[in-house]
Structures are given as C-alpha cells and as structure tokens.
Amino acid sequence: MFSRILIANRGEIALRIIRAAKEMGVETVAVYSEADKGAAYLDFADEKVCIGPGPAAQSYLNIAAIIAAAEVANVDAIHPGYGFLAENAHFNEVCRSCKIEFIGPSVEAMQLLGDKVACKQLAIKMKVPVFPGSKGKITKEEKAVEIAEEIGYPVIVKASAGGGGRGMRVAHNDIALRSGLRSAMTEAEAAFGDGSVYIEKFLEHARHVEVQVIGDKHGNAVHLYERDCTMQRRHQKLIEEAPCPVIDQEERDQLCEAAARLIQAAKYHGAATVEFLLDPQTDSFYLLEVNTRVQVEHPVTEMITGVDILKTMIEVSAGEPLPFAQDDIELTGHAIECRINAEDPDRNFTPQPGLLEVFSPPGGLGVRMDTHAYAGYRIPPNYDSMIAKLIVHAEDREKARWRMQRALSEFRVGPIATTIGLHRRLLNHSAVVNNDTDIHFVERLLGG
C-alpha cells in the first residue's frame, strides 16, 4: 500500500480523499492555491503545499507545480479527484514518467475511452448499446447528409475529443447539418486541437442514466449499479439519485453488465462512469460517453452499495485486487444527492462568492454531508460554485425524498444565496415525484 499520496484538487473532493486515505493509514499531502489559503480542510492533511496563484491555470492545472510538490513531499501516488487534471492524459503520462502512481486508469485506457469515436467502436464490439449514427469520424458533408437521411433527423454533430458540451450541434435538416458540421469542426479544432467529429441520432426527450464501474489491474471489473441524473440545468447536474427509478431489474442488469464489459475490454483500472441516455418511450439505452474519473455524485452509489469508492480506487491503484466480486454487491434502499451551489437561481444562477456568515448543515438519521464549507468560510471567486453535497439514504425513493425535504428545511446558509430553495421546489414538483421528467425539465420549468 502507498504510504503517502498527494491530492491534486481542492474543496469537498480533496476532503473526501483525505478522509478515505486516513481510514487506510495513508498519509496525505494537500495542495492549495493562494485563493484557498486558510481553507479549513487543508488542516486535515498531513502536509500542505502552496502551488500558485488563484487562477486554476496557474495552480490546480499547473502540472509542473503539482509534480514539483509531489517530488518535494516524496509521495507514492497522486489522486486527481474530478475536474482540473483528472482526465488529462498528458498529466497521467507525466506522473508515469516521474514514477508517481496516478490514481486512475492507465494512460492508454484513458486515451481510448476519452476518444469518443474509439470508445463507441469498442462499445459496438462489446455489444453495449450506442446511438445509430456514423461508424467513425466524418470528414465529408455528403457522407454526413447520407447518414442523417438514413437514421432520420434530428441528428447531433459531436466532437470526438469533445468535453463540456463544446463542438456539439443539433440539426433538424440538411442545411443545418452542413453548417453545423463546419462550425462544430472549427470549434473542436480550436478547443481540443482535434477537429474530427461524428454524428448520431438526437434524442429529444431523454433521461440521463449512468453506471458506476470499477476495475483492478488483474482484469476484474465490477459495476456498482446505476445513478439517475436527469435533473440538470444546461448540462450541469443538480440532483442525482440511485437506483434509477424508471427501470426494472432486467433492464438494470443488462445496462450495468454492458458497462462493466466495456471497461473490462478497455483493460481499465480505477473508477469510471459509463453514461447513457434513456429513451423513456421505448426503454432503450444509448451510450453517451465514459468518464474516466470519480464523479461528484459518487456518494449516492456508496449509500446504496456500502462500497467506499475512494478507498477502493486507492487500493486498486496500489495493485490490490478488487476486494469484492460482482455477486457481493447488493443494492439497498434509495439515495438522493442535492448539489448545494453558491448561486442565485433568481438571478440566472450567478455565482455568489464571499463570506458565509451562517452555515448550519442538517444531520440526523440517513443524512450525509460532504462539504468543506463552514461558518466563516470565504468562498473564493475562482472556482466551481458547489459548496456542499447533501446526500440522504432511506428504504425507498419516496422515503428518501421526504428525508431530503426534511434535511433541506434544516439547512441554514447566509447571507450567500444558494440552490437550497430550488431543490425544495424541485423535489416537491409532481413531475419529479412521478418521474415524469427529462434532461430539459428544469430549463423548461425555469424558462430557459
């Protein structure tokens, strides 16, 4: 096992990793930018190292500064968390050349699954359901039009190196497709240095369902069931739950087994999430992409399976076999997570940095808080506005929903505006209660 690891991240996920490592007797080195100086969670690490000024490009994305900190602190491994450098294959490669274990997949598996076209081709081979569309990259407009006519409009043009919704265009006819193709290629070239795109069928009313998977270095891959993240706004997830409330056990098994097959075929070790869109009209699933890192919403999976995902990531990275087999994973009850963001929903979700004078989180049976915030914490303006994740677990979805409402009603934060009120409203909405939602539900409700 490692004796020391460095955490190349900040905030609640840095704290989550510190907690997992501590329970394993592994020492931690936290890094921080000048904007995070004085953040209380840093005191829980065994050592802390400043890696640069507030802007992420000069600190949390600064590979040279992070590697220098790792060498000085003499760590065995680096955990990248999510965001920042977590899916950066170059960073992964630099860690390898410095003989520092990257807590995540190999460079090759990250590149394979990170390339959406290559990933889709592997998925087809492994009989994982994918959207109808081009078999590979598209270079000619005529070919794109031909495929679109075959699968039927609307279609979506996507960048194979895509991320963060860039290089994507929806087209309802030939003319839109031709111009969408050109602009998506230009955008992808500028954003990723790779202008290649592909097209697939566009699903108007979809639910977002994703499978948590984890593999080791001995060829084992296990799924930890699925999460439903349909409640999102502009592709940002707001509420996540597990299991997905609209599929039956047979659909669940098929989907989850397909996801595990995919990462096994990629010789993947570490945690990954295989994302799908579900067409609720036909109960069909289509692969969206694979995220080669731990996700924000991993706690809901931990609550229904009892698996400590962060601890398992560290174990498999150190070369240990997965401590469980597929049959050991049992799904118990229902979990819901609300992302508490320092944003003002009444002012178009403008971020609200500044002093948290009041921060009094809920507790009680079945309530989990993953947060680095506290009363007196000053939210820096430089980063993501998520300040806490509130997670509940109960016997079934309805009891979990009631528990979440109860917990949200206890949560006191001020004077900073947050998404707490919005969560209460959403969880009370009849469409949410009855699972009659799709990924555009929140935007429709709030008017765009």
The residue behind tokens 């929140």 is 442
> Residue 51 or residue 206: which is nearer to ligand ADP going by CB?
206
Q: Does 226 bind ligand ADP (CB under 6 A)?
A: no
- The piece of 4-12, 159-167, 368-376, 419-427 that touches ligand ADP (CB under 6 A) is 159-167
164 makes contact with ligand ADP (CB under 6 A): yes
Residues 2 to 61: which contact ligand ADP by CB under 6 A?
Answer: none
Closest CA to 212 of 267, 172, 252, 154: 252
200 lies in the site for ligand ADP, by CB under 6 A: yes
Identity of the residue, 129 or 163, whose beta carbon is nearer to ligand ADP in the bound complex: 163
Pick from 206, 221, 309, 335: which binds ligand ADP (CB under 6 A)? 206
Question: How many Cβ atoms sit within 10 Å of the Cβ of residue 31?
Answer: 28
Among 77, 171, 288, 304, binds ligand ADP (CB under 6 A): 288
Q: Shortest distance, CB of residue 164 to ligand ADP, whole angstroms?
A: 5
Q: CA-to-CA distance for 331 and 224, rounded, in angstroms?
A: 8
Cβ at position 133, least distance to ligand ADP in Å: 8
Among 6, 85, 181, 203, indicate the residue that binds ligand ADP (CB under 6 A).
203
Handedness of CA 236, 413, 23, 13 (dihedral sign): positive
235 binds ligand ADP (CB under 6 A): yes
CB of 229 to ligand ADP, least distance (A): 9
Alpha carbon 329 to chain centroid distance? 21
- Asked if 198 touches ligand ADP (CB under 6 A), the answer is no
Classify residue 430 as left (phi > 0), alpha (psi -120 to 50) or beta.
alpha
Helix ranges (DSSP H) in 266-377:
298-305, 309-317
Site string for ligand ADP, 405-444 (x = CB under 6 A): ----------------------------------x-----
Q: To which H or E segment does residue 73 belong?
A: helix 63-73
Which letter, b or e, does each residue of 335-348 get, where b requires 16 or more Cβ atoms within 10 Å of its Cβ? bbbbbbbbbbbeee
Taking the CB of residue 137, how many other CB atoms lie within 10 A of it? Answer: 17
Return phi, psi of residue 317, to 5°.
-65, -35
Per CB under 6 A, 129 contacts ligand ADP: no
What residue has token string 């209380």? 40
**With binding defined as CB under 6 A, does residue 185 bind ligand ADP?**
no
Q: Which is nearer to ligand ADP, 203 or 266 (CB)?
A: 203
Smallest separation, CB 446 to ligand ADP (Å): 16
To which residue do tokens 């505006």 refer?
417
Dihedral angle over CA of 191, 194, 195, 201, nearest 10: -90
Site string for ligand ADP, 256-285 (x = CB under 6 A): ---------------------x--------
Q: What is the DSSP letter of 320?
A: P
CB of 204 to ligand ADP, least distance (A): 7
Whether 293 sits among the annotated catalytic residues: the reply is: yes
CA 8/CA 413 separation, integer angstroms: 28
Which are the catalytic amino acids? 293
Give residues in contact with ligand ADP (CB under 6 A): 131, 156, 162-165, 200-203, 206, 208, 235, 277, 288-289, 439
